[in-house]
Amino acid sequence: MKIEAGDFVAFHYVGRFENGEVFDTSYEDIAKENGIYVEEREYGPLGVNVGVGEIIPGLDEALIGMELGEKKTVTIPPEKAYGMPNPELVIDVAKTEFSNVGIEPIEGMYIMTDSGIAKIAKVGEEKVTLDFNHPLAGKTLVFEVEIVEIQKEKSEAESALDVQG
């Protein structure tokens, strides 16, 4: 049974950069081994509806045609992942904006703003440069995926029976 658009799929994954560095995974032991373990996170297979844009396009497309138990490694260019960095999403703000709210800006730090999450790209004497691009923008990503569950999309007739039953 091959995965088609509209199916619900659960899969394990390991996400790496081209240099082999792991940036995300659904496996708790791999997260711990690679120093990216997050205690509050629940590790396990990721469940998605395929072909509807719930995950990055390159991964969405790679799942189509796979079968239960199948493993695959897929390399995804930035255009099919988080896109290329957009220079319009890098802005300067007055350093006083930070002191007004009691934050000491540090390069590399992520902050929540009214416009979303931003990385502090640079701290100057009077200005702080904020980067609102996704942290993985511009990166080629390599995913190892393993399909652990497939639920075929129900036809409208089957869905109607579920409602009546």
Q: What's the pLDDT score for residue 15?
A: 98
Whether the predicted pLDDT of 162 surpasses 90: no
Whether the predicted pLDDT of 161 surpasses 70: no
Instruction: Identify the CA nearest to 118 among candidates 86, 91, 87, 85.
Output: 91
Q: What's the pLDDT score for residue 123?
A: 97
Q: What's the pLDDT score for residue 165?
A: 47
Q: And the tokens for 136?
A: 């993985």
Q: What's the pLDDT score for residue 35?
A: 97
Please tell me what DSSP assigns to residue 86. P
Give the C-alpha separation, 45 to 27, whole Å.
8
Tell me the per-residue pLDDT of 78-137, one tens digit each, with 9 for 90 and over. Answer: 999 999 999 999 999 999 999 888 889 999 999 998 889 999 999 999 999 999 999 999
Q: What's the pLDDT score for residue 117?
A: 93
Q: Which domains does the chain have, with CATH numbers?
A: 8-83+136-153 (3.10.50.40), 87-131 (2.40.10.330)
Tell me the per-residue pLDDT of 41-92, one tens digit each, with 9 for 90 and over. Answer: 999 999 999 999 999 999 999 999 999 999 999 999 999 999 999 999 999 9
With vertex at residue 31, the alpha carbon angle to CA 25 and CA 36, rounded to the nearest 5 degrees, is 100
